[in-house]
Amino acid sequence: MENKKVLLGMSGGVDSSVSALLLKKQGYEVIGATMELFCGSSCCNVNTYIDAKNVCNSIGIPHFTYDYKGEFKKYVIDDFINCYANCKTPNPCIECNKYMKFGLMYEKAKELGCNYIATGHYAKTEYSEKYGRWVLKKSNAGRKDQSYVLWNIPKELIEHVLFPLADFESKDEIREIARESNLKVANKPDSEDICFVPDGNYKRFLEENSDIKPNPGNIVNSKGEVLGRHNGLYNYTIGQRKGLGISYKEPLFVLGFDKETNEVIVGTEEELYSKEILVGDINLLLVDEVKEPMQVDVKTRYTSKVAKATIEQIEDDKIKVIFDEPQRAITPGQSAVFYVDDIVLGGGKII
């Protein structure tokens, strides 16, 4: 008989709460789990646990809280700090998914005798006859699809992951289900910020929690001409135009950084575009390796549209991406995620 026991990650929000409800209706034996990750954050305070526990009580499933603050600091916060220290722009949700939700939580699920883990992400898993394996796909949620932040999960896990919200097209549908079922979190607002930087001020977070401090230096153009001064490399992002404090004959944008000389490099809009990039730390889900150049769709930010490109695996852990059309403000540290139609082929970190 199939083991239909599932450990569901619950944040106290409406998505994971409705996921619990749907899984129970589908006949799964659901256990709710809330991970304690960071003191005082939007996703990790007393109200989070109370909301998650209340939802579990109201639909009649057990709920447990697990303290993973040490692991979260090691895998997510330290990586966040390290990226900024090395002039990269991180996406902490991707690290959290890999190490916490689809790493430690899956280990906990096995301990509890569960065959599955589930989350309230908008994504989809299914078995593909064409590829002869389980695949991760885009959900039906359009712009709210979250497959981009899941490229880094271990591929052997895909058949053990359930995404109950895969087929919903809007958040309004989810809230309506919550209201009909009298869940108190039905109108709870979405959390938009990085969970451990709830006020959105990541610069202050870095200054208070790391050795990163204001270290003034020169702002130069791509020819090396000094155009102004900056107050610390971490205060700037690629593509930034405002707040540079430079007057010049045409608009200037941040193109990149030179850590050795402590310089912010700026240039024209034209110089912001890249035709090809290198991607490292790769994780391939659909194939074991890219044996020959492949045409794919690529997303280089969660909010960006897909772009047509050819990918070529040049080392075990490195892929070259050549875009059909040059792409604007490609940012090291962000993820490039490769799609074949609606299926996630894999992804990696932009170098």
pLDDT at site 198: 82
**CB atoms inside a 10 Å sphere around CB 1:** 3
Looking at the structure, tell me whether residues 173 and 64 fall in a common domain.
yes
- With 0-12 / 13-18 / 19 or more C-beta atoms within 10 angstroms meaning exposed / middle / buried, residue 113 is exposed
Q: Does 342 fall in a domain?
A: yes
> What are the counts of helices (DSSP H) followed by strands (DSSP E) for the chain?
8, 17
- Confirm whether 96 is a catalytic residue: yes
The CA distance from 89 to 91, in Å, is 7
Question: How many domains does the chain fold into?
Answer: 3
Q: Does 199 fall in a domain?
A: no
Looking at the structure, tell me whether residues 128 and 228 fall in a common domain.
no
Answer yes or no: pTM beyond 0.85: yes
Looking at the structure, tell me whether residues 88 and 227 fall in a common domain.
no
Q: Does 79 fall in a domain?
A: yes
Q: Does 313 fall in a domain?
A: yes
Q: Counting every residue, how long is the chain?
A: 351
Looking at the structure, tell me whether residues 33 and 116 fall in a common domain.
yes
Q: Does 118 fall in a domain?
A: yes
**C-alpha dist (Å) from residue 259 to 217, 223, 252, 253, 281:** 10, 17, 20, 18, 21
Q: What is the spatial order of strands in the sheet that 161-162 belongs to?
A: 63-67, 29-36, 5-9, 116-118, 161-162
Q: Does 160 fall in a domain?
A: yes
Residues 94-108 pLDDT 10s:
999 999 999 999 999
The CA distance from 11 to 33, in Å, is 8
Looking at the structure, tell me whether residues 277 and 253 fall in a common domain.
no
Looking at the structure, tell me whether residues 227 and 302 fall in a common domain.
no
- With 0-12 / 13-18 / 19 or more C-beta atoms within 10 angstroms meaning exposed / middle / buried, residue 196 is buried
Residue 45's pLDDT band (cuts 50, 70, 90) = low
pLDDT at site 190: 82
Q: What three-state secondary structure class fits 222?
A: coil
Pairing of strands 63-67, 29-36: parallel
What is the per-residue burial (b if ≥16 Cβ within 10 Å, else e) of 252-264? bbbbbbeeeeebb
Share of the chain above pLDDT 70, in %: 98
In this predicted structure, the answer to whether residue 44 has a pLDDT above a threshold of 60 is no
Range of the domain at 341: 272-350
In this predicted structure, the answer to whether residue 319 has a pLDDT above a threshold of 60 is yes
Where does a domain end: 222, 239, 267? 267
Q: Which of 43, 83, 96, 114 is catalytic?
A: 96
In this predicted structure, the answer to whether residue 118 has a pLDDT above a threshold of 70 is yes
The CA distance from 331 to 105, in Å, is 30
The angle, 0 to 180 degrees and rounded to 10, between the axes of the packed helices 14-25 and 171-180 is 70
In this predicted structure, the answer to whether residue 43 has a pLDDT above a threshold of 60 is no
In this predicted structure, the answer to whether residue 269 has a pLDDT above a threshold of 80 is yes
pLDDT at site 14: 95
Q: Does 187 fall in a domain?
A: no
- Confirm whether 195 is a catalytic residue: yes
Calculate the average pLDDT of the chain: 95
Contact 319, 278 (CB under 8 A): yes
pLDDT at site 40: 56
Q: Does 340 fall in a domain?
A: yes
Question: Backbone dihedral region of 213: left (phi > 0), alpha (psi from -120 to 50 degrees) or beta?
Answer: beta
In this predicted structure, the answer to whether residue 90 has a pLDDT above a threshold of 80 is yes
pLDDT at site 266: 98
Please compute the mean of the pLDDT values over residues 33-61 and round it to a whole number.
83
Residues 125-181 pLDDT 10s:
999 999 999 999 999 988 899 999 999 999 999 999 999 999 999 999 999 999 999
Give alpha helix (H) positions in 26-119. 46-59, 69-72, 78-85, 92-96, 105-111
